[in-house]
Amino acid sequence: MLLLLQLLLLLLLQLLILLLLLLLLLLPLLLLLLLLLLLLLLLLLLLQLLLLLQQQLLLLLLLLLLLLLLLLLLLLLLLLPLLLLLLILLLLLLLLLLLLLLLLLLLLLLLLLLLLLLLLLLLLLLLLLLLPLLLLLLLLLLLLLLLQLLLLLLLLLLLLLLLLLLLLLLIIILLLLLLLLLLLSLLLLMLLLLLLLPLLLLLLLLLLLLLLLLLLLLLLLLLLLLLLLLLLLLLLLLLLLLLLLLLILMLLQMLQLLLLQLLLLLQQLLLQLLLLLLLVLLLLMLLLLLRLLLLQLLLLLLQLLLLLLLVVLQLLLHCYCYYYYS
Domain count, the chain: 1
Enclosing domain of residue 221? 2-325
- Give the pLDDT of the chain (326 residues) as one tens digit per residue: 556 665 666 666 666 665 655 555 555 556 666 666 776 776 676 666 666 655 566 556 666 676 677 666 666 666 666 666 677 777 777 778 888 888 888 888 888 888 888 888 888 888 888 888 888 888 888 888 888 888 888 888 888 887 888 888 788 778 777 777 777 777 776 667 666 655 555 566 666 676 777 677 777 777 777 877 887 888 888 888 888 888 888 888 888 888 888 888 888 888 888 888 888 888 888 888 888 888 888 888 777 777 777 776 776 676 666 555 55
Give Cβ neighbours of residue 273 (< 8 Å, ≥ 6 apart): 123, 126, 127, 130
pTM for the full model?
0.54
pLDDT in tens, 231-258: 788 888 888 888 888 888 888 888 888 8
pLDDT of 253 reads 84
